[in-house]
Amino acid sequence: MLKAAPRPLLDTLTAPVEWVVSPAPVPYEAALAAMEARAAAIADGAAPDCVWLLEHPALYTAGTSATEDELLDPGRLPVFRTGRGGRFTYHGPGQRVAYVMLDLTPRGRDVRAYVTGLEDWLIGALARLGVSGARRPGAVGIFVDGAKIASIGVRVRRWVTLHGVSLNVTPDLEHFSGIVPCGLHDTKVTSLEALGAETDMAHVDNALRAAFEDTFGKSAASGSGAP
């Protein structure tokens, strides 16, 4: 029997994606456990795809490509080793983290197209907030006038995505000085607040959701808590 060719990323959604927002900062280890449990349920066909919006307490995470010399101030904040791609990044209050758990099997199992979709999503959300974001050749993430405003780090297990993106809304940017952010030396980090843009988190979430639907397809009704 001939196997049907995978359809393009934007044409393969089979059900609305669940959208969950946590109203209070979520400890990193608890978030990781909840995310992995939900991804496993998606892979088993027991739960729909999900986007989880949250904030973390102040901390650093190290991706699979992180090196010790990029942690410039080891005692400053807790450090968590994680299985996502990428290097060191900062998470903390005022930064919107979006964990994206999507089944890539009906989307053609194309990880590169998925990452491109994440970039398109962030650029679209920033545009809705009056900010012109852009890619930078050789770097992962989104930049505004050369300064990084959003990071991307993903992992795929059983063709279900884990981790996702983070967008700087009103974080303490000084904490980025404790690391080499995403391995990018001599690259500034910025935020919506530093740019004088919209910083109300509800408005940011609305922009993220609208841009997500433009890129990946329709979302289901929002919920609160954890996935």
Largest CA distance in the chain: 59
The number of angstroms, rounded, from the C-alpha of 41 to the middle of its chain's C-alpha atoms is 20
The closest of 93, 138, 98 to 122, measured between CA atoms, is 98
Query: What does the alpha-carbon distance between residue 74 and residue 70 come to, in Å, rounded to a whole number?
Result: 10
Half-sphere exposure of 135 (CA within 13 A, CB side): 11
Positions marked catalytic? 182
Output the DSSP codes for 132-160: --EEETTEEEEEETTEEEEEEEEEEETTE
Amino acid at 114: Y
Distance of alpha carbon 66 from alpha carbon 88, whole angstroms? 6
Q: What percent helix, strand, coil does the chain show, rounded to 5?
A: 30, 30, 40
